[in-house]
């Protein structure tokens, strides 16, 4: 049985079912752009599935376009990064059309996610953006500017259960450190790219550096997080005017039904500054800012996880300062404090019922008269006052001799 990946599905295409350079058997056309077509092919004799990017026939007689295509192949061949498809071969078809061969990327583009209405949660989006930063950082260090960062050029593939990003289509790549060579293919004032995602300096046709890719990434981040393009218009000139002069709406206005951390929104708007000097100055700096946002997500998840998953404390530990005993004890006499209100309360509880107050006063009066007769008025008055001050002083306290 022929493996499914070897089945030819597009017999109408002139290259499908044919061999390129005698060793690439074309199985299917998987994509097409303004100047090139991408095919899925089998490499013989090692039986490897690859992707072939072939310049369209109508452009193969244009020397500038051919040079630009060859420049893309040469530029990408210098890149060695897990987030950028590697170039394996370069050649020319019998028709004179140049092509190059890369690893086949089978996944979903951010553009397809957006078109399908697939909501990408902010934390997942941050992880995707960080990988794009890694890829562009590597390209920038090699002196290359992508110039066409957009959702369609950011592929998401599954590699052993891990979401991996692949940055594709370096078709209008530019050498940042070799302006003279670049000017031969891209004259000053020429506008190349996708207007919705282009930086102000790119829209104006000015000289570019790596910070134009930072702005373009910002437009992609904005669209993924809000579901709305940062800048749109009825036509290309209207979009270009907005790119040059306006800032996009805040997230709360563009997408009031979505939740996004303010810190992440701040990162996006930093990349979208009209002046390149006010943006992040490198992809590494942009990635560091995204990493801080990711840490916030992770801290919040740990807090939630800790609240839900933490086992309840034993009851003996749930009350601080309280000692609990599991040994049953027999009730005993209550402890009595000898100080303060507790002592007075205990004393009152221990006292016997009071005797008749009127009888006590009569007895005191008789004794006072006797003292007056015997000792004198001074002592009698003192005794009378003292007894009146403590009416219970003559009462007997249990446990003491009378």
Written as one string, the DSSP assignment of 175-194 is ETT-HHHHHTTS-TT---S-
CA dihedral 272→274→275→280, nearest 10 degrees, is: 0
CB 225 within 8 A of CB 255: yes
Q: Give the three-class secondary structure for 11.
A: coil
Active site residue 213: no
- The first and second tokens of residue 154, run together, are 């950011």
CB 50 within 8 A of CB 43: yes
Q: Collect all residues with Cβ–Cβ distance below 8 Å to 267 and sequence separation of at least 6.
A: 221, 286, 289, 290, 293
Preceding amide of 45 cis, omega within 30: yes
CB 204 within 8 A of CB 244: yes
From the candidates 134, 148, 169, 213, which is the catalytic residue? 148
Tokens 């040469």 identify what position? 74
Instruction: Return the bridge partners of 39, or none.
Output: 29, 52
Tokens 């303010």 identify what position? 262
Alpha helices in 206-351 (DSSP H): 211-226, 236-245, 251-254, 262-271, 283-309, 315-318, 340-350
- Please identify every residue annotated as catalytic: 148
């Amino acid at each position: 049985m022929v493996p499914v990946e070897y089945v030819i599905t597009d017999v109408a295409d002139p290259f499908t079912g044919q061999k390129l350079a005698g060793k690439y058997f074309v199985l299917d056309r998987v994509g097409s752009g303004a100047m090139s077509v991408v095919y899925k092919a089998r490499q013989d004799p090692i039986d490897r599935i690859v992707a072939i990017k072939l310049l369209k026939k109508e452009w193969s007689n244009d020397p500038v376009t051919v040079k630009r295509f060859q420049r893309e192949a040469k530029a990408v061949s210098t890149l060695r990064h897990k987030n950028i498809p590697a170039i394996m071969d370069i050649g020319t078809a019998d028709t004179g059309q140049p092509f190059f061969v890369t690893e086949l990327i089978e996944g979903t583009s951010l553009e397809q996610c957006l078109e399908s209405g697939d909501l990408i949660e902010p934390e997942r989006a941050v992880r995707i953006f960080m990988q794009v930063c890694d890829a562009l950082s590597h390209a920038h260090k090699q002196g290359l500017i992508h110039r066409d960062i957009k959702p369609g050029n950011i592929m998401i593939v599954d590699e052993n259960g891990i979401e991996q990003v692949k940055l594709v289509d370096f078709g209008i790549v530019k050498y940042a450190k070799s302006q003279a060579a670049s000017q031969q293919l891209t004259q000053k004032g020429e506008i190349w790219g996708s207007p919705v995602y282009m930086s102000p300096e790119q829209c104006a046709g000015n000289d570019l550096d790596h910070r134009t890719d930072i702005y373009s990434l910002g437009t992609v981040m904005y669209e993924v997080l809000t579901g709305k393009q940062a800048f749109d218009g009825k036509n290309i000139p209207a979009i270009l005017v907005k790119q040059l002069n306006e800032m996009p709406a805040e997230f709360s206005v563009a997408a009031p039904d979505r939740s996004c951390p303010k810190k992440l929104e701040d990162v996006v708007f930093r990349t979208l500054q009209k002046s390149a000097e006010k943006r992040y100055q490198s992809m590494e700096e942009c990635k560091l800012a995204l990493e801080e946002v990711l840490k916030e997500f992770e801290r919040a998840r740990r807090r939630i996880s800790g609240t839900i998953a933490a086992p309840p404390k034993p009851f003996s530990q749930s009350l601080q300062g309280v000692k609990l005993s599991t040994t049953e004890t027999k009730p005993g006499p209550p402890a009595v404090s000898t100080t303060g209100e507790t002592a007075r309360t205990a004393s009152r509880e221990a006292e016997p019922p009071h005797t008749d107050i009127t009888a006590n006063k009569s007895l005191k009066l008789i004794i006072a008269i006797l003292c007056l007769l015997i000792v004198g008025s001074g002592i009698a008055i003192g005794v009378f006052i003292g007894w009146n001050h403590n009416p219970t002083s003559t009462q007997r306290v249990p446990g003491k001799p009378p």
